[in-house]
Structure 1
Amino acid sequence: MKENGILASALIHRMAIEPLGDGLEDEAYIQRARMIVLVLLGGLILPDGSGCKIPLMWLTQLRDVEAASMISWASAALATLYHNLCEASMGKRSDIGGPTVLLQLWVWERMPTLRPDFVAARIHTNNTPCALMWTGSYMINRAPKHSVRHYREQLSLLQNNQFIWMPYVDRQLPDSCLDMNNSWRSVTYIVCWAIVEAHEPERVVRQFGGTPFIPELRDWGFNETHFKTNRRGKAKTNWAVQNKAYIQYWERRSKFVTNAYMEPLADHMQVMRTRQYMEWYFKITITYITQPGRLPEVGMNTVASASTVQVSLSTHQPSWHL
């Protein structure tokens, strides 16, 4: 135990030294199932910033193993990732929680300049998780580690033709990933205990083959303190009651599925709407993250200097999409 949590290493060690045999009581297998789920939750799907501690709150979700299979763990993981990315970008954080492996896979799928070179060719087996494609050995000279400078430079100089907008078109995906009425197209809330985030698929229409448009600004009912909400000092809070309205909205998510932005458009309409979107986009954001004028470092990860970014912005601005 450590600070109201269970050490993941202790659970893994316990399972390693006590393998299960046949002919045991059912409770022994149920206990082992709970241990495996806890390791997955605390180490992969919903880890906290510590990287080693599994909050005890997950035990309450595993009293009934069958009921646990009905929980939308995927939406909870996405809500947690959004929340932690938001916190990491706005505060002085030295760590980050949430399923950051999803972020890494998202980057590798869409930004070839940021992924390592693998020893063997990447092949996706039909109807298997896309993440399995990225297992294997990679070349050490093309896999920079712990190099924030390298990745900042690559992101700052990213061109439109270096980003893969629809990364799964050449793969055989399950029907659940292609259903036009599925919940991943729903404009709704996603909830994980104290965390509540908005799910707006209309902001990423290009990955579905749609034409980008200026998104509608919705009032989600969040006040200025909403995203600072956490579980610290609230051990007795019943979050199912606290977030009842958001959960009920999620349970009706099939009513809020929208396909309006996927309508086919004539070529000239696509060009016009894309141009309008980019004009709006450049007014609300910046397209580089390195300090302008800084010279590149000498070494394996040397890339074009960030000082060229300002020139690139003025000459190639219509092609910059981040």
Structure 2
Amino acid sequence: MQHPIGEDTPQADVDRRARLYLLIIFGAILFPNTSGSHMSLRYLRYIDDLAEIGCYSWGAAVLGYMYRGFCRCSMGTRVEVPAFCSLLQIWVWTRLRPFQPIPADPPADYLTVPMPYARRWSRGVRRRMETHHSLLPFRDQLDRMTAQTVCSYFGFTRLTT
């Protein structure tokens, strides 16, 4: 059993645990595969030097990985997308109003307690008002959207070709 990290914990142990957590975040959350039980070790080389980890563009890497996963899924017989779909879900909720859940009133400490960006959609959401497991309403909403509607969501004033 591991002991909690404290003031007297050797730096080597802290670094080892940090690398383990980062490997889990990279291999199982940000860059998952469809096996469900295996994790790629290709990210080990990026977490060798913890001081350098902030020099990489992880957001662009996750976005590229998602694009590649969706592309492969759309062209073949795959039924699972190897991507961090929660990130896509938050992006859709932010950009496409027909898909936004109905958030409850913000908590009293909303302005004083820093919260992750995605938390505003999950805190106090009225679950009975949403259509979580029904694909047809989402498809209907997408079919009803016009190019001008999409442009207005992104702040464009007119279409360009």
In 2, Cα distance between equivalents of 1:115 and 1:68? 34
Quick one: which amino acid aligns to residue 63 of structure 2?
L
Equivalent residue for 1:119, pick from 104, 114, 136: 104
Structure 1 residue ranges (4+ consecutive) displaced by more than 6 angstroms after TM superposition: 122-125
Match in the other structure for 1:155: 142
On the 8 A contact 1:51/1:97 being kept in 2, the answer is: no
Shift of 1:134: 2.4
In 1, Cα distance between equivalents of 2:14 and 2:60? 27
> Deviations for 1:141-176, whole angstroms, at most 9, x for unmatched residues?
22222222222122112244476213xxxxxxxxxx
What TM-score, normalized to structure 1? 0.43
Does residue 140 of the first structure (1) align with residue 127 of the second (2)?
A: yes
Distance change (3 Å), C-alpha of 1:117 and 1:48? same
Distance change (3 Å), C-alpha of 1:87 and 1:147? same
Match in the other structure for 1:24: 9
| Identity within the alignment, % | 26
Match in the other structure for 1:164: 153
In 2, Cα distance between equivalents of 1:89 and 1:157? 22
Shift of 1:42: 2.4
* Alignment root-mean-square deviation, CA: 2.9
Shift of 1:34: 0.7
Whichever structure has more strand as a proportion of its residues is 1
On the 8 A contact 1:45/1:99 being kept in 2, the answer is: yes
Does residue 43 of the first structure (1) align with residue 32 of the second (2)?
A: no
Distance change (3 Å), C-alpha of 1:47 and 1:65? same
Does residue 87 of the first structure (1) align with residue 79 of the second (2)?
A: no
Distance change (3 Å), C-alpha of 1:148 and 1:85? same
Shift of 1:49: 2.4
Shift of 1:137: 2.6
Quick one: which amino acid aligns to residue 45 of structure 1?
L
In 1, Cα distance between equivalents of 2:4 and 2:127? 36
Quick one: which amino acid aligns to residue 118 of structure 1?
P
Shift of 1:128: 7.5
On the 8 A contact 1:84/1:97 being kept in 2, the answer is: yes
Shift of 1:71: 1.5
On the 8 A contact 1:85/1:96 being kept in 2, the answer is: yes
Equivalent residue for 2:160, pick from 198, 213, 220: 213
In 2, Cα distance between equivalents of 1:158 and 1:49? 32
Equivalent residue runs for 1:1-322 within 5 Å: 18-121=3-106, 130-159=117-146, 160-161=148-149, 164-166=153-155, 206=156, 212-214=159-161
In 2, Cα distance between equivalents of 1:141 and 1:164? 26
Quick one: which amino acid aligns to residue 136 of structure 2?
R
In 2, Cα distance between equivalents of 1:58 and 1:152? 36
On the 8 A contact 1:120/1:136 being kept in 2, the answer is: no
User: Secondary structure in 2 aligned to 1:141?
Assistant: helix
Instruction: Give the count of matched residue pairs.
Output: 156
On the 8 A contact 2:27/2:41 being kept in 1, the answer is: no
> Deviations for 1:78-97, whole angstroms, at most 9, x for unmatched residues?
11011111112222212111
Shift of 1:27: 0.7
Quick one: which amino acid aligns to residue 131 of structure 2?
P
Shift of 1:46: 1.9
In 1, Cα distance between equivalents of 2:115 and 2:6? 29
What TM-score, normalized to structure 2? 0.79
Distance change (3 Å), C-alpha of 1:151 and 1:51? farther
In 2, Cα distance between equivalents of 1:37 and 1:94? 28
On the 8 A contact 2:47/2:53 being kept in 1, the answer is: yes
In 2, Cα distance between equivalents of 1:108 and 1:91? 27
User: Secondary structure in 2 aligned to 1:35?
Assistant: helix
